[in-house]
Chains A and B, each alone.
Chain A
Amino acid sequence: MSGQPVLRVRELVKRFGGLLATDSVSLDILPGEVHAIIGPNGAGKTTLIGQLIGELKPDAGSVEFLGRDITALPVHARSHLGLARSFQITSIFLDFTALENVVLAVQAHDGHSFRFWQKAMDDAALLQPARAALEQVGLGHRADIPANALSHGEHRQLELAMALATKPQLLLLDEPMAGMGPEDSARMVEMLRGLKGKVSILLIEHDMEAVFALADRITVLVYGRAIATDTPDAIRRNPQVRQAYLGEEAPVA
C-alpha cells in the first residue's frame, strides 16, 4: 500500500449558490486500497463523486488521476483513462440483455465504434471479456436475460460487471448496497472483497457494517469538509468524528 496515489484530489471547492457543497477537500487514494467516504446525508458525497467523475465542474481545486490533471476532462475521456463508476440509482440499459449491457461497456474501451457492418454480438473481442466480467460478479448464468427482468440485487451486480469490464484503475462505487436486502448485501461485500488489491476502490456507502468490513482507510465528510482520513480503527476512536457524525447516528463502534 504505497507508491504514487491513483487519485489525488487537492483543495476541491464546489458552491451551489450560497451553499458550500464541497469545502476544500483534499484526498489521496493509494494503489490497491479500498477507500471509503462516509458522512451524514447532505454531507456532499454525491457532489464530490460528481466532480471526480466529471459530471460537475469544481469551482476551484484540482483532480489528478495517475499523475495526470483531469480537472477539465469530460466524463467519457476520464472513463478511457480508467476511471469507472457505478451509480447510486441503478443506471443500466434496461432494453438490453445483461450480456449486451456489459458488451457495451467493453466496446467503449475497444477503440472507436464507427463500425457499421459487423454484428457486435458476434464479435469475440467483445463477448469474451463481457462474459468474463459477468462471471466475476456471479451473473454468468443470467447473461441472456433482458435487464428489465433482473432483480434489484442483480442490477447492482450488473452495474459492477459493467464497471469492471472497462478494466478500470479506479472504481468509484456510489452506494453499491443501496436498497439491497441483507443477503444481497453480504454477497456484494464478498464480491468487493474479492476485488481488493486488484483495483483501487473509492466506496461511498451508508451501510457501516460493509464500510468497516471492507475499507482500508475512511474519509469522513461533514458539511462538505473532510474532517478526518484514517484507518477504520482510528476513525472509530476519533473524538471529532464521534461528535460530528457517529454521535448523531451512533451506528457501530
Chain B
Amino acid sequence: MSVPASLRSSVSTAVALLLLAALALVPLAAEVFEDPFLLTLFTRIVILALAAVSLNLILGYGGLVSFGHAAFIGVGGYSIGILAKHGMYAAWIQWPVALLMSALFSLLIGLLSLRTRGIFFIMITLALSQLVYYLANGAYAYGGDDGLTILKRTDFGGLINLSHRPSFYYLCWALLVLSLFLTHRLVNSRFGMVLRGAKSNDRRMAAIGFPVLRYRLTAFVIAGTVCGLAGALLATHTDFISPAMIHWTRSGDMIVMVVLGGMGSLFGPLFGAVSFLALEEILSSYTEYWKLVFGPLLVLVVLFARGGIDGALGRGHGGILLGIIGGFFLLHGVHLVYGDDWAIPGALLLGCVALVGLVHWLRRHAKSGDKP
C-alpha cells in the first residue's frame, strides 16, 4: 500500500499545481458566471492560504504548536488600518510598516514563548495573542471592539490598482505562489535542515552543536512577518479591521487548515485552506449549525487521518478523496436545484452514510497497520 516517497510528493505536487492553476482562473469564472461572490470567497481563501503557509513553516516543519498566529494577521491588518485612518495610503509606507510591525511583534512573542515547550508553549502563545486582541479592543481611537472601516485602499502609485478586484486577486495569488516557492527553498536549505531537525529531536540538536533557539526564533519571525502580510491583504480585502480577526479561535482555525491539509508538506496548507473554507461555505449553506458537524469531523480527522489531505494523496487515496469531494458537490448541486423541500434531510442522511463509510474505511486502515 505504500507509495514511494518521490511518487508521493509528485502526486501531491501535480494536484497542487492543478489547484493553483484553477485558482488562477477564478476571476474568469466569476466573470462568466456573473457571480462576484465567487471572487470574494476565493480572494479570502487565497489570503488565508498564504497565512496557513506561514504557519506551516513553524508548525509543520518546526513542530512548534503556536496557537497565536492570528495575532500577526491582526498586526498586519491594523498597521494598514491605522495608517489609512491617518491618511497615509502610499504602499511604500503601508506595506513596510505592516511587515516591520509583524516582525517586531513576532520577535517579542517568540522571545517570550520559545524559552518554554510543550503545553506551556501552547498556552503562552495563546495568551500573548490574546494580549494583542485586547490591545485592539482597547484602541478606541481605532474603533475599539467595533472595528474600523478602511476608506481607501493602499495606493501603489498607478502600478497596480487594488480597488480593481481581479487585480487585487491576482496580487494575492502571486504572493501565495511566491510564498510556496520560498518555503520550498527554505525548508531544503541548511536553515530548513536545522528547523526540521529540531522538530525531530531538539535535545540531540544541541548535543551536535546547534544553538536551536536562535534558529527557531528566526523561523518564528519569518512566519509572523509573512502572516502579517496576509493580515494586510485581508484588511485590504474586507476594507475593515476589527479585534475579531485576532481572536484566538481564528488561530485555531489556522491550525485546523494546516493539519487538515497535511502538516509539514509544502502544499498541505494550500489544500487545507481551500477545503476548510469551501467546507465552511457549503456546510453553512445547509444549516446554520454547521459547526455541529464540523467539530466532530475535526475530531475524527485527528483520530483517524493524521496525514491530512496531502497524506491521503500520498498513500494513493486520491480517488477516494475525490469521490468524497465530488459527492459533496453533487449533493450541493441537488440542493441548489431542487430547493429545500427534501434535499436537506436527504443530504443529511447521505452525509451520515458517507461519514460512517469514511470512519469504517479509516478504521480498517488503522487496523491493517497502514497508519499515516
* Chain A residues near B (Cβ < 8 Å): 53, 74-77, 79-80, 84-85, 87, 91-96, 100, 103-105, 107-109, 113-121, 123, 126, 162, 166
Asked if B193 and A91 make an inter-chain contact with CB atoms under 8 angstroms apart, the answer reads no
Per the bound structure, the CA–CA distance linking A95 and B185 in Å amounts to 19
Contacts of B209 on A, CB cut-off 8 Å? 76, 79-80, 108-109, 166
Q: Is B193 a contact of A107 with CB atoms below 8 Å?
A: yes
Q: A161 to chain B: closest CB distance in Å?
A: 11
Residues of B with C-beta under 8 A to A77: 211
Q: Is the CB of A107 within 8 A of B194?
A: yes
Please report which residues of chain B, range 204-227, place their CB below 8 angstroms from some CB of chain A when the two chains form the complex.
204-212, 215, 218
- Tell me the dominant secondary structure on chain B's binding face: helix
Taking a contact as CB atoms under 8 Å apart, the answer to whether B193 and A100 are in contact is yes
| Cross-interface CB contact of A113 among B185, B193, B204, cutoff 8 Å | B193
Shortest Cβ distance from residue A239 to the other chain B in the assembled complex, whole angstroms: 38
Q: Out of A94, A114, A126, name the residue touching B200 (CB < 8 Å).
A: A94
Partner among A85, A91, A113 whose Cβ is within 8 Å of the Cβ of B194: A113
Q: Is A118 a contact of B190 with CB atoms below 8 Å?
A: yes
| Cβ–Cβ contact A162 & B208, under 8 A | yes
Interface residues on B, range: 20 to 34
Task: Give A162 to B197 CA distance when docked, in angstroms.
Answer: 13
In angstroms, Cα B214 to Cα A77, docked, is 14
8 A Cβ contacts from B268-290 to A: none
CB contact between A120 and one of B189, B200, B201, B205 (< 8 Å): that residue: B189
B215 in complex: contacting residue of A91, A92, A113, A118, CB < 8 Å: A113
B210 cross-chain contacts in A, Cβ below 8 A:
76, 108, 113
B328 to chain A, nearest CB (A): 33
Assuming A91-B201, A95-B200, A114-B218, is B206 touching A75 (CB within 8 A)?
A: yes
Tell me which of A80, A92, A107 contacts B201 (CB under 8 A): A92
- The answer to whether B193 and A103 have CB atoms under 8 Å apart is yes
Do A117 and B185 touch across chains, with their CB atoms under 8 A apart? yes
User: Are B190 and A107 in touch, CB under 8 angstroms?
Assistant: yes
Contact assessment for B208 and A108 in the assembled complex, using a CB-CB cutoff below 8 Å: yes
Q: What are the residues of chain A within 8 A of B205 when measuring CB–CB? A: 104, 108
In B317-358, the 8 Å CB interface with A consists of none
Chain B residues with Cβ under 8 A from A80's Cβ?
209
Chain B min CB distance to A56 (Å): 13
- The B227-285 residues at the A interface (CB cut-off 8 A) are none
10 tightest CB-CB pairs across the interface, nearest first?
A79-B209, A108-B209, A93-B200, A75-B206, A113-B190, A115-B190, A108-B208, A120-B190, A105-B208, A120-B193
The interface residues of chain A lying within 8 Å CB-to-CB of B206 are 74-76, 79
30 contacts between A and B (CB under 8 A): A53-B207, A75-B206, A76-B207, A76-B212, A79-B209, A91-B207, A94-B201, A95-B200, A96-B196, A96-B197, A104-B194, A104-B197, A105-B208, A107-B194, A108-B208, A108-B209, A109-B209, A113-B191, A113-B193, A113-B194, A114-B191, A115-B189, A116-B185, A118-B190, A119-B188, A120-B188, A120-B190, A121-B188, A126-B190, A166-B208
Q: How far is the CA of A85 from the CA of B212 in the complex (A)?
A: 17
Judged by a CB distance under 8 angstroms, whether B192 is at the interface is: yes
**B82 adjacent to chain A (CB < 8 Å):** no
Residues from chain A with Cβ under 8 Å of B189 in the complex: 115-120
Contact of B203 with A by CB under 8 A: yes
Nearest residue, chain B, Cβ from A108: B209
Residue B186 at the A interface, CB < 8 A?
yes
